[in-house]
């Protein structure tokens, strides 16, 4: 196992990561995109930075660079290379507000999170469409890991934290 640093908030860092990986001349069979920040604070501008401007474009960019530069050489007709993006079932309640990505009209931390997950699902569907149209040996998949005991609930109301603390051992992975 080898570690390569990549800051998803920095396009420069993502480009450097892809260049470093390419220099190794190794196949990349699976790229797992999981840039999931913890729940954003109740400030709309901070939430935009955390959910939309950090996680979504960073994952888009690394997936596109990998698709263009690394993955095509790794996939074959019998064994496709894969881009797996981690999302959430929360995307079902998400609404993509293209005219108000920062949620300045009405903000909720859950809404910002759901919007970012919906954006990842839509991106993955579009990427798969492009891959299929180009006859690529790369597939794009989006997955929901289920309810996992993470720092996602870091900024929620204290009552929710208590309920989580009492039930996480039973219901969360």
Q: Write down the domain spans for the chain.
A: 11-172
pLDDT score, position 67: 65
How far is Cα 5 from Cα 14, in angstroms, rounded to an integer? Answer: 9
Output 76-82 pairs: Cβ under 8 A, ≥24 positions apart. 76/137, 77/137, 79/29, 79/137, 80/137, 80/138, 80/139, 81/27, 81/28, 81/29, 81/30, 81/31, 81/137, 81/138, 81/139, 82/29, 82/30, 82/31, 82/138, 82/139, 82/140, 82/141
Output 1-6 pairs: Cβ under 8 A, ≥24 positions apart. 6/62
- Of 61, 113, 125, 153, catalytic: 113
SS3 of 128-170: the string is HHHHHHCCCCEEEEEECCCCCCCHHHCCCCHHHHHHHHHHHHH
Among residues 126, 105, 106, 107, which one has the least CA distance to residue 51? Answer: 107
pLDDT tens for residues 11-66? Answer: 888 888 888 888 888 888 888 887 655 555 555 555 555 556 556 677 777 777 77
CB 61 within 8 A of CB 10: no
Residue 125 pLDDT class (50, 70, 90 cuts)? very high
- Quickly tell me which residue has 């913890």 as its tokens: 38
CB 58 within 8 A of CB 71: no
Higher-pLDDT residue of 108, 91: 91
Sign of CA dihedral 80, 81, 87, 88: positive
Residue 160 pLDDT class (50, 70, 90 cuts)? low
pTM: 0.72
Catalytic residue status for 113: yes
> Which of these ranges, 6-10, 48-52, 147-151, 165-169, has the smallest mean pLDDT?
48-52
For the domain covering 11-172, report its CATH number: 3.40.50.720
């Amino acid at each position: 196992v080898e570690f390569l640093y990549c800051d998803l908030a920095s396009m420069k860092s993502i480009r450097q990561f892809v260049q470093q990986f390419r220099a190794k001349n190794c196949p990349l069979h699976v790229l797992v995109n999981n840039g999931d920040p913890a729940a954003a604070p109740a400030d709309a501008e901070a939430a935009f930075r955390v959910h939309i401007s950090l996680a979504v474009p960073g994952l888009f960019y690394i997936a596109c660079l990998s698709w263009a530069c690394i993955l095509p050489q790794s996939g074959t007709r019998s064994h496709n290379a894969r881009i797996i993006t981690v999302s959430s079932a929360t995307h079902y309640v998400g609404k993509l507000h293209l005219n108000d990505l920062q949620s300045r009209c009405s903000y909720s931390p859950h809404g910002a999170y759901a919007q970012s997950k919906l954006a990842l699902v839509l991106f993955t569907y579009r990427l798969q469409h492009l891959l299929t149209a180009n006859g690529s040996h790369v597939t794009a998949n989006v997955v929901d890991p289920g309810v996992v005991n993470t720092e996602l609930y870091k900024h929620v109301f204290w009552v929710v934290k208590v309920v989580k603390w009492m039930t996480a051992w039973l219901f969360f992975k």
